[in-house]
Amino acid sequence: MADTDPVVSLDNVVVEYGRNRALNGVTASFSGGAVGLLGPNGAGKSTLIKSLLGFVVPTQGQMRVLGLDVATSPVDIRARIGYMPENDAHIPGLSAVQFVAYCGELAGLPAADATQRAHEVLYYVGLGEARYRNVETYSTGMKQRIKLAQALVHDPDLLFLDEPTNGMDPKGRDEMLDLVRDLAHNKGINLILSSHLLPDVEYTCDEVVVMDKGRIAAAGPIEALKQPRGRVYELRVKTHGELEAFFDRLTAAGLECHSTDDDVVRVFVPGDGGARQLFSLAAAEGVQVRHLRPSVPTLEDVFAHAVGED
Amino acid sequence: MPIHDQGYRRYGGSRSRGRAWFVIFTTGVRAMMRSRWWIVVMIASWIQFIVRAVQFYIAANFSQAAVVAPSAATFRDFFDKQDFFVLVATVMLGAASIAQDRRANALQIYLSKPLTRLEYICGKLSVLMAFLLFITWVPAILLLVVQVVFAGNFTFLTANAYLFPAITVYSLIEVLTVSMCVLALSSLSTNSRFVGILYAALIFFSDALYGVMRAVTGGTAVSWIAFSNNLAQLGDVIFRVPLRYETPWLVSLTVVVALIGVSAVILERRIRGVEIVA
């Protein structure tokens, strides 16, 4: 496999759970480095990863991982990848070092090498002091770390990380993201990080694939996706009438409005219209503009644009 | 460089393939040997061996004790008596074997490694089968050896040359059947206690049902209803002793094969990296 080849490629992949179509004709390719798999809950991110692992068999389409066909070489693929599942997962009755060494042996490492690497990897993920404790006594954050350790112990070429910061406190989350970033940027491990948390993906990944309703909604380098195809403003307004009517007018004029956690609305103005267009629309609707600030496009804008949120 | 100064390093060593089941086997055996209760059960399961060895010694050295001299029926009876320990060991080890992995979501860890579902099942099966053979086949074969040693000749062994294969074949049939059945049940639940109770209940319930049917029909032709009766019937055929039930042994064999087949189908369907609720 050449360096320029995609580490993962999918061609018209369809996965169905009964009548529910979880992946709906997904065609995509993931280049090397760190790629974020973004999407709201139920978008099909976890299904995509589980399909690539061979846990779920697509009803249609082809998938290749590291140049190998998932349908014909699942074991060869799994020898070269690491998987950090979304939910709690461990082998019961083992200490952390036994668990990770066991996973190394299952991946084909000799017992002595597996044990040595288990110690190293546990130190690397920050569990060095707790490595002789039974995994069942671990906190949620520690369980996330041990899942990363078991995925790393056999030194995979590609890592699948499914919501790696789930349930972690802010400090632990930052440390986990630093680890992920270090793996991708300094240790030469390709990774696909599935998350619904935009800041996590933006911090750790170079590229992003946005999924929605079982389809690819957008894909590409984050910086390229964030390139403005117009201008973005933060807007706060006051009106005596219905705010929705004003937003409807903006939308009708071809502008995109995305509400944020604050009382600020992010407005995307395509083309060269700029603030002048916003002011004229506000004046026409009898709305007072209390705050208008140019902003830079964020991954959140890309995501909202891709999945059609408002 | 001390370990704690090292960051993540790439691995340049060797990797092997196809021994994952053996890794599961050795880890499973080591884990069980750490349990005090398990050691107690294993030791207790060898009490009958000691008693039989004493019996063989007496029969070989005291002509007045010819009545306790070993025969093929002695070895058949040895397996009947060991059934209790087979049940205890099966419930203690087999019930938790897959149920605990399912409870801890360990299947997705296992199956994200380069091993197949068959290797996983073989690994789990081998742990249980190894211990069950330790309380059936190993002491039975050692009893044969003990008999030769105490008698000081091969007369008994040559007169009963079929005993070695009989012991081996019956042990394998019994151990494989109970192991497959309990593993299949274990894969259906995340609660090992429930699985243990369910397995024991199935044994006792089918025995009780057979008792009722025997009373109603006045014969033993319906013995195939009870799980353990089928193994007993096959044991009698293999050890060339009079059959204890009227059921044709081929019927018992069919039931045993069907049980193994159904268990294999259940395991094939339940051992998955992801549980799909459609």
For chain B, what is the mean pLDDT?
A: 93
pLDDT at B4: 44
Start-to-end CA distance of chain B, whole Å, equals 53
Nearest chain A alpha carbon to B12: A155
Distance from CA of A189 to the nearest CA of B (A): 9
The sign of the CA dihedral A110, A115, A118, A120 is negative
B8–chain A Cβ distance below 8 A for any pair: yes
Structure tokens at A142: 């520690």
Residue among A3, A4, A30 nearest A206 (CA): A30
Rounded Cα–Cα distance for residues B132 and B174 (Å): 9
Q: Residues 88..107 of B with a Cβ closer than 8 Å to A: which?
A: 100-101, 103-106
Q: Which among A91, A97, A137 is the top mutation candidate for probing chain B, defined by the most B β-carbons within 10 Å of its own β-carbon?
A: A91
Residue among A95, A130, A102 nearest A117 (CA): A102
Structure tokens at A117: 């690497």
The three-state secondary structure class of A47 is helix
Rounded Cα–Cα distance for residues A219 and B278 (Å): 29
pLDDT at B65: 83
CB burial string A127-153: b at 16+ within 10 A, e below: bbebbeeebeebeebbbbbbbbbbbbb
pLDDT at A179: 94
CB-closest option in B15, B27, B278 to A79: B15
Q: Do B8 and A19 touch (CB under 8 A)?
A: no
B158–chain A Cβ distance below 8 A for any pair: no
Kindly state the average pLDDT of the residues B32-44. 96
The sign of the CA dihedral A167, A172, A178, A184 is negative
CB B130 within 8 A of CB B37: no
pLDDT at B1: 38
CA distances from A82 to A4, A155, A158, B111, B204 (A): 21, 8, 6, 11, 45
pLDDT at A229: 65
CB A46 within 8 A of CB A194: yes
- pLDDT over 90 percentage in chain B: 87
pLDDT at B3: 42
Residue among A172, A168, A121 nearest A148 (CA): A121
Residues of chain A with pLDDT under 50: 310
Distance from CA of A156 to the nearest CA of B (A): 9
pLDDT at B2: 43
Structure tokens at B10: 């790439």
Collect all residues of chain B within an 8 Å Cβ-Cβ radius of residue A94. Answer: 31
pLDDT at A223: 78
Collect all residues of chain B within an 8 Å Cβ-Cβ radius of residue A54. Answer: 111, 273
Collect all residues of chain B within an 8 Å Cβ-Cβ radius of residue A109. Answer: 11, 13, 15
CA distances from B223 to A127, B12, B252 (A): 57, 60, 9
Q: For residue B27, is pLDDT > 50?
A: yes
pLDDT at A213: 87
Distance from CA of A164 to the nearest CA of B (A): 15
Collect all residues of chain B within an 8 Å Cβ-Cβ radius of residue A79. Answer: 15, 17, 114
Residue among B13, B234, B184 nearest A104 (CA): B13
Q: Which among B3, B6, B8, B127 is the top mutation candidate for probing chain A, defined by the most A β-carbons within 10 Å of its own β-carbon?
A: B8
